[in-house]
Structure 1
Amino acid sequence: MSTFLARPHPPRRTRRHQAGFSLPEMMVAMALAALFMSTITDALNPALAFFGKQDTTAKLADLRMALESAYKEDVKLVDAAAGAVFTVTAGVISPVAPNANGRCATPATTFAPLARYLPSSSAASATDGWGQGLCVYITTRQSWTVNGLTYPYHTIAVVSAGYDGAVDAATALSAAGILTLGGDDKGIVIDGRKLVGDLVNTAMEQISRASTALASYFVTRYQSNPSRDMGVDYFARTNRAGAVSAEFDSAGSMPSTGGAAVPITNGQAHTVLGLSVADVTDPWGGTLLLDNSSDAVRNPQNATASMRSPGYTARISTTLPSGSVLERTVVGSY
């Protein structure tokens, strides 16, 4: 009997598939991706523009407050510089102009002198809401004369190039301190003339307050004198040399200014009038001056005979950085 062995069948070969995509498939995928990205970008652009605008507005507002605060605190330094710079105790801010591409390569240290006034870092403050550098424009020193008073000032502008990232050709700060914005540019202006004008008004208010207090002092001293002697100068308790004299109010508290205008804090004259040091410190850091005995006011020792008789006067004054003098003459009333 013969035995036959079955031969095993050879393994069935399976068809292998090639990995990857064909060129047509890749082209279709890329076209779909581009369409998808375009749709996403179109949808995001308004949001990016909105949030960038909001962030830029907030940063510019912070810079406005910082620049105004620094200007007021260091106004003498700011306006002492004749050139187009903003000089404060902590340093100097120089202009940053757009380059040929309309962009401002603003150094991170540009606003470092304002660090103490800024809510965020000075480096972060140097860019707008889209991460672009901010442009800085500063006028040279200007002067303004009003009511016979002349005072210097600078105008400063900070500009964002907006969403398109390039400063418009029409954007500029004129020599007169007028900012023109083109395209989608955004900016702020620190109007030095208005700011310094406000400081002058503050100084005038201080002089007025001190003058009113001095006038009230004179009347009060006159009324406290039982003899109501109208020949006594109640603006001072002694003569120029500090000696007691019948022509002055020896029972009073107001020291003589010694024949000149002196700081009202000398001899604590300001406290006699019920004023604090802050009340008599002008916006430029100077102290109001009091004159109750020089030849510029009517008093018993005046070199001019016609200026030695009542009604006696005194004067409160201060000097502006420009050299102009703010003053008010107080006439003693009986």
Structure 2
Amino acid sequence: MQVVIDILENELIEKYPDILGILLRDQTTQKNIFWATDNYENLGDSYKSDSEILPDLITGEKGNVIMPRVHKDKILQLSRSKEMAEVFTPSWICNAQNNLVDNSWFGKDGVFNKEILLKNGTKSWETTKEKIVFPKGKTWLDYVQDTRLEITCGEAPYLVSRYDTTTGEFIKVENRIGLLDRKLRIVNENLDSINEWLNAAETAYKSTYGFEWQGDSLLLAREALLITFIENFTHKFETEPPLDYIQNIAEIISWNIWQMDGLKGVIPNSCAAEIIEIPDFFETRTEIKKCKGCETQNIKSHNGIYCHIMDWDIEKPIKFISLLEK
């Protein structure tokens, strides 16, 4: 893959023929993810908000339909910020907040990097060069296995940081600061066998989650996680990973990075009012029954399609909201 921030769907199709189809799959509905935004409706009926994102809609001559937010025009960025609260956080903020997670996990500051202020006033970070040392009672595998979730993830800048989502600046593998980036750094530092590396990387992906409302952002997030896998393997072994492993990681991503209304735990816009016909002596009258969950704001009472994710320990799908009971 080219070292560019916009992952081109045409290149995915050409180099990895089955991968785009996997990345477009919604594992809950067994259909494709859908647009869930009206930003593309001017392109035709197939681009309406409730339409599935199909490969032929974003490849060929339409290969530039979906692009990172930093490449979208300013008017569209502003529109999405207002309508869908789409705000992308600078990488230095993602880093600072991810550092707080690791400060707690390791029991000390500055494990992966040191936050710095550049001469031009820009905040950044300086990556630690030494191999990460783990606290007593914890191992590198514990860290890789620890569950991480980015809510309303957009293009997933807290999980993977291939580029700064506000400036578009590409970030080298060794300087990345995402939650998954950090897991992969640990894998890179501790394993030199390809098979062991692949198994540990799979574990890292299985323990990393994120959900997003809009289909285009979701696809960008999924693509970013997949290319991050390829880039890390290539960085470590100076060759690309086997195709079957790329497909395996894509499958994991299609389960772990999913389309959801985070306030309801369901597929976006899947709750609906029911029209009930009530027989009467002289005529049949209709009554509209609204979604109970939407009316009461009870996440367990929606009539929409509840999202499923994979429980990798038992290798069976579970409802996401079932985790809220634990």
> Shorter-normalised TM-score: what interval?
under 0.3
Q: Larger % of helix: which? A: 2
User: What's the TM-score, normalizing by structure 1?
Assistant: 0.23
User: What's the TM-score, normalizing by structure 2?
Assistant: 0.23
Q: Highest Rg: 1 or 2? A: 1
